[in-house]
């Protein structure tokens, strides 16, 4: 099996998993929000961690409540958009458009992961400062 064929199969599998996830996520959103416990940091230390509101943010985003999603956790909101854009570019790269292949390579690189980790750290510090102010 060629490298190109493996790439196409991987994208098709990701598409199928994403569709299944969306169909499962939508009806379970309300139930899952009620099931998840309160944040450990809020319960024990009195301040929100950088991930606080992340799960509710994802459910609100896919429920179409974008303002509510952004207000719950701006970092997760932009991470969702980043993943969606990456996913769209990944699918468009199947048409052998070099721009999208290069974009996917850059967006899915370790440098991008480090960039997100730095943003997560800075967001966490700012969020903690705002909690104590």
CA distances from 132 to 1, 71, 90, 123 (A): 57, 19, 42, 14
CA distance 105 to 1: 22
First-to-last alpha carbon distance for the chain, in angstroms, is: 59
Q: What is the pLDDT of residue 54?
A: 81
Please write the tens of the pLDDT for every residue from 59-84.
Answer: 788 778 889 889 888 888 899 899 88
Place of tokens 């721009």: 99
What pTM does this model have? 0.76
Helix, strand or coil for residue 1?
A: coil
The DSSP letter of residue 47 is S
- Please give the average per-residue pLDDT across 49-58, as a whole number: 78
Instruction: Decide if 110 contacts 96 (C-beta within 8 A).
Output: no
């Amino acid at each position: 099996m060629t490298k190109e064929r493996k790439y196409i199969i991987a994208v098709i599998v990701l598409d199928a998993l994403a569709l299944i996830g969306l169909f499962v996520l939508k009806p379970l959103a309300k139930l899952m929000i009620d099931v998840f416990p309160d944040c450990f940091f809020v319960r024990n230390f009195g301040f929100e961690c950088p991930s606080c509101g992340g799960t509710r943010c994802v459910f609100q985003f896919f429920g179409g409540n974008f303002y509510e999603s952004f207000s719950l956790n701006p970092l997760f909101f932009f991470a969702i958009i980043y993943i969606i854009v990456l996913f769209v570019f990944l699918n468009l790269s199947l048409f052998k458009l070099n721009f999208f292949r290069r974009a996917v390579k850059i967006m899915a690189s370790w440098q991008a992961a480090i960039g997100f980790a730095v943003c997560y750290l800075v967001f966490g510090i700012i969020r903690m400062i705002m909690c104590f102010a």
